[in-house]
């Protein structure tokens, strides 16, 4: 796949997909093992995107200036709740 094809192959939320709705126990829900999943589709695949990955993408967008800056306290709560270290984010950087 060339660069232009990769860029043109945008993913979107797929409300019709079952890929995020069925867990190993057979229950239909958007959480498996406590992880919130979003059903996504591109031109070739159905797949899931977890909440932590979406939050990491928001952090990158914030750093690039594409979304407004979120309060450091909000990021602190995200880091504490999900036990993640966000891309290019150190707690000290967020609180200064």
At 91 the pLDDT is 46
* Report field, pTM of the whole predicted structure over 0.85: no
Contacts of 67 by beta carbon, 8 Å cutoff, 6+ apart:
58, 61
Q: According to the model, what pLDDT value does residue 34 have?
A: 67
The answer to whether residues 11 and 17 touch, using CB atoms and an 8 Å cutoff, is no
- Per-residue pLDDT at 31: 62
* 10-residue stretch averages of pLDDT, the chain, 96 residues long: 86 72 58 76 90 91 94 92 69 50
């Amino acid at each position: 796949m060339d660069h232009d094809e990769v860029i043109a192959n945008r993913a979107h939320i797929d409300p019709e997909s079952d890929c995020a709705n069925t867990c190993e126990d057979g229950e239909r829900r958007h959480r498996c093992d406590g992880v919130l999943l979003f059903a996504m589709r591109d031109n070739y695949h159905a797949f899931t995107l977890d909440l932590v990955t979406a939050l990491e993408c928001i952090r990158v967008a914030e750093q690039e200036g594409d979304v407004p800056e979120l309060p450091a306290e909000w990021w602190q709560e995200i880091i504490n709740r999900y036990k993640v270290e966000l891309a290019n984010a150190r707690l000290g950087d967020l609180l200064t």
